Structure 1
Amino acid sequence: MTELLSAGLITAFMAGLLGGGHCIGMCGGIVSALSFALPPSRRHPLRIAALMLTYNLGRITSYTLAGMLIGGLGQLLIGEIKAITQLLSWLAVVMLVLMAFYVGQWWTGLTRVEALGKYLWRYLEPLGRKLMPVQNPGQALLIGLIWGWLPCGLVYSMLLLALSSGSSFNGGLLMLAFGLGTLPTLLATGAAARQLTSLLRQPVWRQISAFLLLGFAGWLAWPLIN
């Protein structure tokens, strides 16, 4: 389990990092809103940075909480039954492969998985809208806590990994690693964000990211084979 967890932590971080294009598509709108919510007279770089940091703190906190809940559920349901644990681990590998296919634009069927969370999201999304426009870090933190539950195939693939992690602590740790991997993309603002978005949408970068994700899926699968 230790070897699998180590591989899982690195894989989760890299999945967040390499899935940056997907993150921009899912959260780009709210990030732009945070960047330009303040009136011009108050649009100081430090104020914008505070909004960005607190929003992402809330978002990653929700990922971590979801990982803890799912990891604890997995521990409760499967206990020490190795066969079920391995099955869930293989499902996490398959989801990562599907994510690679999505990032590389080879097959976009993963978007159907995102529909699974739409029922919860239709209750949460209006709460987030009520907090707009964001004027202070407290509002940004609350929006981040809500937006962390946005239906996302990449998040769901990592939650499957958390489900097979063996404990609530391990599940939370995996989702924390994933959330930290998404930070570089979502912290970029202004001109840097436009340049980064342009780069991540380039076909060459998409293909490189997809093959790297496939490589990490293979690395994650290796302990399961041996």
Structure 2
Amino acid sequence: MEPLSLFFAAWLVGLTGGVHCFGMCGGIVGAVTLGLPAMPGSMLQGRLAYLLAYNGGRIASYVSAGMLAGGVGAWAAHLMAVHRAQLALQVLAGLFMVLLGLYIGGWWRVLGRLEEAGGRLWRRIEPLGRRWLPVRTPAQAFGVGLVWGWLPCGLVYSVLVWAIGSGGAVQGGLLLLSFGLGTLPVLLAMGTVAAALAGFLRRPWVRYTAGALIAAFGGHKVWVAVAAA
């Protein structure tokens, strides 16, 4: 099982990257909640049900991808010299953690290129989500979330690299679950609450602190793997 610090790092990436996620998914969230049918109870409760369904589908896709990445990594390690393969994957994951920390802190935007690379796959997947629009039921919102969970995102791709070196499908799934839960506060918040939270997460000291912590986790992971080689 991965140490709790790595799950915390994945959650922190999701939380501090929530503003980035809102920028990419905000329009989709609007499409999910715009023109909802009349429902019993308050409008806020009705919208929350749809938002929870959408984000549940999105996180389910993250977890599926994490389990796949973790399983592939474990399978590849068994095909090679297991010990050395695991150490190599841990070094790779640690390096991506450092890059992600630099990205979160705003010091180096190199991971943005991953989103450009993922755009090719997204062009094939995106039309599937249109079948669920306009959204009329929470089940349809869940379906939209399942598709849009594959939206090209450098943050998601980086955590998937961690999952490859996590040691198994369960660990990989839990890493992506931690990341997905971290993105929830901004994407579930509405109106002035969302604006206030996004404003807080945009503060330089918040980004710098989170970026430094994540980069430090990555550096430690690399150091442990190299020392064990």
* Structure-1-length-normalised TM-score: 0.88
Which stretch shifts more, 193-202 or 48-57?
193-202
1:105 aligns with 2:106: yes
Report the CA distance shift for 1:122/1:191 in structure 2 as closer, same or farther (over 3 A). Answer: same
Q: How far apart, CA to CA, are the structure 2 residues paired with 1:209 and 1:33?
A: 31
**Root-mean-square deviation (Å):** 2.1
| Counterpart residue identity of residue 63, structure 2 | T
Q: How big is each residue's C-alpha offset from its partner over 1:159-217, in whole Å with a ceiling of 9 and x where there is no partner?
A: 11111122112211221122112211211112211222222233333223222322332
Aligned to 1:120: 121
Choose which of 1, 5, 10 in structure 2 pairs with 1:7.
5
Aligned to 2:134, what secondary structure does the other structure show?
coil
2:72 paired residue number: 73
Residue number in structure 1 paired with 2:29: 31
Instruction: Return the offset for 1:143.
Output: 0.7
- Following the alignment from structure 2 to structure 1, what is the Cα–Cα distance between the partners of residues 147 and 28? 11
The match for 2:49 is: 50
Moved more, 83-92 or 56-65: 83-92
Deviation at 1:219, TM superposition (A): 4.5
Q: How much has 1:5 moved relative to structure 2? A: 3.9
Identity between Structure 1 and Structure 2 (%)? 46
SS in 1 for 2:87: helix
SS in 2 for 1:150: coil
Q: Distance in 2 between matches of 1:158 and 1:134?
A: 30
Q: Structure 1 residues 37, 207: closer, same or farther in 2, change over 3 A?
A: farther
Count how many residue pairs are aligned between Structure 1 and Structure 2.
223
The structure-2 alpha-carbon separation of the partners of 1:196 and 1:33, relative to structure 1 and needing over 3 Å to count, comes to farther
CA distance in 2, matches of 1:164, 1:121: 24
Q: Per-residue displacement from partner, 1:22-65 (whole Å, max 9, x unpaired)?
A: 222222221233343426x6681111000110111101111111
Residues 28 and 215 of structure 1: CA distance in aligned 2, closer, same or farther (over 3 Å)? farther
Q: Counterpart of 2:70 in structure 1: which amino acid?
A: G
CA contact (8 A) 1:58 1:148 kept: yes
Residues of 1 paired with 2:147 and 2:68: CA distance?
16
Gaps of 5+ in 1: none
User: Where do residues 145-164 of structure 1 align in structure 2 (5 Å cutoff)?
Assistant: 145-164=146-165
> Per-residue displacement from partner, 1:95-150 (whole Å, max 9, x unpaired)?
12222222222121111112232222101112223322322211110011011111
Q: Which runs of 5+ in 2 are unaligned?
A: none
What is aligned with 2:200? 199
Provide the residue aligned with 1:63 in structure 2: 62
Match for residue 16 of structure 1 among 11, 14, 17: 14
Distance 1:200 1:115, change over 3 A: same
